[in-house]
Structures are given as C-alpha cells and as structure tokens.
C-alpha cells in the first residue's frame, strides 16, 4: 500500500544535457474530476489519457465503492457508468484516498450532500493534512463531520438529506475547497456560490459545464472570482480527453532549461493559464522555452513545449502567481539554485500543507546540498551560483512525490550526485518517471 512499502532510495548523477521528445502522463487534477463527474452523471463517460497514478486510481476505487461502474478498457481508455447527481450509495467500507488531498477533499464535497454516512482515511501524509477547510463550508450546507483533532483524517461524513445552497468566501485560495463546495452544490436547491480571493485552477468549472451543469464565473473586481453552480443539476455522461500534466512536465522542463546543450520537446502539455505560472517564471529567468502547436484538446489549451538549455538568472516571483504554480515551487527552487543571483518566492504559505511541509522539505534538501536559502513562514529565497550547485547530499522526501522528483532533477544539474531516500511516492502522480528521465539522458539509479 502507498507509503507502507520499503523505502526505495535512488541516486541521480550529474549529466550534460537532456534531449528527445516525451509525452508525460495525464493531468492529475482533470483525471480525478473526470472520474468523479462521470460517477455523478447518468449514462457513460469515456476518458482518454487518464493519469493511471496511485492517487487517481484511489479516486476511481472510491467511485466504485459508492456505486459507479469504473472500468479500464484494453485500449487504455476508462469507462464510467454513473449513478446520477445525488444517486451514489453508502460504501460498505472505509474510503482510503491514499496520498491524495484532491481525492479526499473533492469526494468530501460529494459525500456532504448525499444522504449516506461514509468513513474516509488516507496514508500517513494525508492523515496529517487539514480537512477543516472543507468541513466548515460543507457543514454550512447541512453535512456533519466527525474528525480527529485538528480536523484530520480519518473522518466520518454524514451527508445532508436536505442540503442548503450557500455563498462562501474562501479564506485561502484553494481549487480543492472551491471544487468540494461546487460538487456539494450540485445536489442543493438553488445556486451555490464560491468567492475566491485569487483565481485558482478552473478545471471543475470547465468540466462541470462539459457535463451539462450551469456554472457562471464573474470577476469580483479585486483579482478574484465569483463562481456559481445551479443545483439540482443533471449531469450527462461525456467523453473526456485529458491533456498531459503541466505539473509533471515541470520537472523535465526545469532540468532541460537549466542544462546548456539540452533540446527537449514535451508533447501535448496542458497550458491552462491558471496552471502555467512556472513556465512564465522560467521565461523570466531567461529560459529558452516556447509553446509550439497551440491547440484546444478536450476543452483545455495544450501545446508542445520546446526547451533548450540556457543560463538562468534569479527573479522575484510575485505572490499573486502562487495559485497558478503552487505545486511547482519545489522544482522552481532547483532551477533557482542553478540561476545567477537570488530568486524570491513570496506568498507560498499553502506549500506548508501539501503532501509534506514543502517549504521545510525544500529548505532541508537545499541545505543538504550546499545551497544557500532563507525561509520565512510564507516565503523561500534561494541564492543561485550561476552554474552547477554543489550537490552531494541526501534528501528526505517525507512521502512527497514532488520533493522526490525535484531533488532527482537537482542531481542532474549539480556538481555531485544527489540521493533521494524514497522514490516510491512518485507513482502517485508520475508512473514511469525514472525510466522516462533515463531515456532522455538522465542517470538515475537505485542507490547502492
């Protein structure tokens, strides 16, 4: 089971360049949503390009436990036969969402307005993460929650038989919380509204519309958005084409961008502007990176990202960019370690409640590899050397896939090899990562 297998330390050796062409796995956010919305629809949903990572498979298993039919076809496409909005049934056992905050929080939204009682848990990392952020608004809609201290998993969700629509201002910019409320709102009578202080990824809004729900989005005049869904909705099964994940492509993009001599093409990557902050930041750092062959696939903008190695310089990343690259700061810190000068990442306090405390985990990884940094509760500053950072350190991943992949990238870029204590969690979001990297010129192997 996730996180309970023996640790698998790997070492990543310095290399000169990455080259070739690759297609990274499907988008994690969209994959979770495709399975959940398919389960809430009537009729059949067919999903092409689903991420078959552990996190998404857990969501698929949860939808099955709630009564949907979820199957993988021989061609790799997934088929979901849903139960209709409000039609899911009480699961006979605990739902275990593994490592996935997205799975746990979005599904909490679904459970909150079904008249069933469900028990939800996850692995040691997920059981440390806060669920109060979904519990508070979902209780306003009529659900009841029983959680461990600090609103942690395991928790019981007693869904509302007569849910109420709400208007809710998000205290933190979180697409997960926004999505949980909108999903709960599908069953409530009337309109459920979420006001987000800063625009966060809009896959829920886009896909809900694709499935036939009425969703409106308006600016709040202060940089945020007012998002409403009309309840007592009917969703109809649809075909969904999942673009490849910009958050997964980020690891390859950073390594290629910072290795002079690299020439890498990443095919069909999602470039939704609410996800693309890292790519903008890399360009500001002087990366030679372009979006070719821009097109719309499955309702999302995608492009082939072409990256050539270059010398990078430090930049200040504005706080308001954080929601569009929240999962990419760990690997940006690696790029920053190679850049000339200082990179300041502000307004990143949400990183502290991800699969690990990512500010602390990145800071410890930088320290172990001789890289200068400064940490505050909500920021990280990295002092680059304008060339290969020292490296040679051993990094603790804290059950966090993105910490593991980021520091494997550091090993390619550093003077000396970097060891990562466990790569097992990478399968949650990027199955086949080590093999793919090695095909493109990396030298990552099991530690001796």
Query: Rule CB under 6 A: is residue 272 a binding residue for ligand S3P?
Result: no
Which residue has the closest beta carbon to ligand S3P?
A: 29
**What is the torsional sign of CA 380, 386, 389, 395?**
positive
Query: Rule CB under 6 A: is residue 201 a binding residue for ligand S3P?
Result: yes
Between CA 402 and CA 339, with CA 255 as vertex, the angle to 5 degrees is 100
Give the residue, chosen from 174, 244, 343, 356, that forms a contact with ligand S3P under the rule CB under 6 A.
174
Which residues neighbour 219 within 8 Å (Cβ) at sequence distance 6 or greater?
225, 226
Contact by Cβ (8 Å): 108, 120:
yes
Residue 44: how many CA atoms within 13 Å on its side-chain side? 5
Nearer to ligand S3P by Cβ, of 15 and 134: the residue is 134
Query: Rule CB under 6 A: is residue 200 a binding residue for ligand S3P?
Result: yes
Query: Rule CB under 6 A: is residue 356 a binding residue for ligand S3P?
Result: no
Count of residues interacting with ligand S3P (CB under 6 A): 11
Query: In the numeric block, which tokens belong to residue 79?
Result: 């088929």
Segment lying near ligand S3P (by CB under 6 A), choices 168-176, 217-225, 258-266, 329-337:
168-176
Nearer to ligand S3P by Cβ, of 53 and 314: the residue is 53
Residue 342: how many CA atoms within 13 Å on its side-chain side? 10
**How far is it, in rounded angstroms, from Cα 419 to Cα 216?**
48
Query: In the numeric block, which tokens belong to residue 257?
Result: 């961008």
The residue annotated as part of the active site, out of 327, 421, 422, 427, is 327
Query: Rule CB under 6 A: is residue 29 a binding residue for ligand S3P?
Result: yes
Label the pairing between strands 167-169 and 191-196: parallel
Binding mask 115-154 for ligand S3P (x = CB under 6 A): ----------------------------------------
Smallest separation, CB 21 to ligand S3P (Å): 26
Q: Tell me the backbone φ, ψ of residue 377, rounded to 5 degrees.
A: -55, -30
Query: Rule CB under 6 A: is residue 100 a binding residue for ligand S3P?
Result: no
Query: Rule CB under 6 A: is residue 193 a binding residue for ligand S3P?
Result: no
Nearer to ligand S3P by Cβ, of 96 and 327: the residue is 327
327 is catalytic: yes
Smallest separation, CB 326 to ligand S3P (Å): 5
Smallest separation, CB 195 to ligand S3P (Å): 15
Contact by Cβ (8 Å): 259, 413:
yes
Q: What is the dihedral of CA 35, 36, 40, 46, to 10 degrees?
A: -10
Residues that bind ligand S3P (CB under 6 A): 29, 102, 174-176, 179, 200-201, 326-327, 350
Residues classed as catalytic: 327
């Amino acid at each position: 089971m996730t996180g309970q297998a023996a640790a698998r330390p790997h070492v990543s050796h310095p290399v000169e360049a990455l080259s070739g062409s690759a297609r990274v796995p499907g988008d994690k956010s969209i994959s979770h949503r495709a399975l959940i919305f398919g389960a809430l629809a009537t009729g059949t949903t067919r999903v092409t390009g689903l991420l078959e990572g552990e996190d998404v498979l857990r969501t698929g298993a949860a939808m099955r436990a709630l009564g949907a039919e979820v199957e993988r076809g021989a061609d790799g496409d997934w088929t979901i036969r849903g139960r209709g909005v409000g039609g899911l049934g009480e699961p006979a056992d605990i739902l275990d969402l593994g490592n996935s905050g997205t799975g746990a929080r979005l599904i909490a939204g679904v459970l909150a307005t079904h008249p069933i009682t469900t028990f939800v848990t996850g692995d040691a990392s997920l059981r440390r993460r806060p669920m109060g952020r979904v519990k508070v608004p979902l209780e306003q809609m009529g659900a009841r929650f029983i959680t461990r201290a600090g609103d942690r998993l395991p928790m019981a969700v007693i869904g509302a038989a007569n849910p109420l629509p709400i208007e809710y201002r998000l205290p933190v910019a979180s697409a997960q919380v926004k999505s949980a409320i909108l999903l709960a709102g599908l069953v409530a009578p009337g309109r459920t509204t979420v006001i987000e202080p800063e625009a966060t990824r809009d896959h829920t809004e886009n896909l809900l519309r694709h499935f036939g729900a009425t969703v409106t989005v308006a600016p709040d005049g202060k940089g945020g958005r007012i998002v409403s869904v009309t309840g007592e909705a009917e969703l109809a099964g649809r075909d969904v084409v999942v673009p490849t994940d910009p958050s997964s492509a980020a690891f390859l993009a950073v390594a290629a961008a910072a290795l002079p001599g690299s020439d890498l093409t990443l095919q069909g990557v999602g470039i939704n502007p609410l996800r693309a902050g890292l790519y903008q930041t890399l360009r500001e750092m002087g990366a030679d990176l372009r979006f070719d062959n821009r097109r719309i696939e499955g309702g999302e903008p995608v492009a082939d990202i072409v990256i050539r190695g270059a010398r990078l310089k430090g930049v200040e990343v504005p706080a308001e960019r954080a929601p569009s690259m929240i999962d990419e700061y760990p690997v940006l810190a690696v790029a920053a370690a190679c850049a000339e000068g200082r990179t300041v990442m502000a307004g990143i306090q949400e990183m502290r409640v991800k699969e690990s405390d990512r500010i602390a985990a990145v800071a410890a990884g930088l320290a172990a590899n001789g890289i200068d940094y400064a940490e505050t509760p909500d920021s990280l500053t990295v002092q680059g050397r304008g060339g290969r950072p020292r490296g040679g350190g051993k990094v603790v991943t804290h059950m966090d896939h993105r910490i593991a992949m980021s520091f494997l990238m550091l090993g390619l870029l550093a003077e000396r090899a970097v060891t990562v204590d466990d790569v097992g969690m990478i399968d949650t979001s990027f199955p086949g990562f080590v093999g793919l990297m090695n095909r493109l010129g990396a030298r990552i192997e099991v530690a001796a």
